[in-house]
Amino acid sequence: MIQQQTKLKVIDNSGARLVKCIKVLGGFKKKKASTRDLIIVSVIKLRNKFKITSKVKKGEIYKAMVIRTKKKKKKKDGSYLYFFENSICLLNNQEKPIASRIIGPISKQFKKTRMKLINLASGSIS
């Protein structure tokens, strides 16, 4: 579960490496975000390779979608789905991805709502 002040890893090629959650979107009293939720983040650290040609800048505020969480989620068949890190993908104001590629697998839950993210990812997990 993601809440305010949580540091998250960025898994796209937008140029950011580490961000901090500022606000969880989606309701008046919503405190925690899980997979497929929107949050507002601030960029803390940039990738070394992309500092000159980065699409984002340090200290700027962006919307983001939670892609992976450490929290175990039970599926209908009884198995659990979880990852080893909390990670996000940065979005612009129209809620489209800033990056052109997502590194690593993402869950097939995105197939229903965010088909663009499935196409950018290198793999998907059911």
pLDDT digits (tens, 9 = 90+) for 49-89: 766 777 889 999 999 999 889 988 888 899 998 889 999 99
The percent of residues above 90 in pLDDT, for the chain, comes to: 41
Mean pLDDT of 87-106: 88
Give the rounded percent of residues in the chain with a pLDDT score beyond 70: 89
Q: What's the half-sphere exposure (Cβ side, CA atoms, 13 Å) at 27?
A: 6
Among 77, 64, 67, residue whose Cα is nearest residue 107: 67
Beta strands in the chain (DSSP E): 7-10, 16-24, 38-46, 61-68, 73-74, 80-81, 87-91, 102-107, 121-125
pLDDT score of 118 more than 90: no
pLDDT category at 19 given cuts 50, 70, 90 is very high
Any idea which fold 7-98 has? Answer: Ribosomal Protein L14 (2.40.150)
Antiparallel, parallel or unpaired: β 102-107 and 121-125: parallel
Per-residue pLDDT reduced to its tens digit, 28-52:
889 999 888 999 999 999 987 766 7
Domain boundaries, the chain: 7-98
> How high is the pLDDT of residue 28?
87
In this prediction, residue 124 carries a pLDDT of: 66
**Chain mean pLDDT for the chain:** 86
Q: Is the Cβ–Cβ distance between 19 and 89 less than 8 Å?
A: no
Q: Nearest Cα to 117, choosing from 125, 81, 102, 104?
A: 102
The torsion angles phi and psi of 21, rounded to 5 degrees, stand at -70, 130
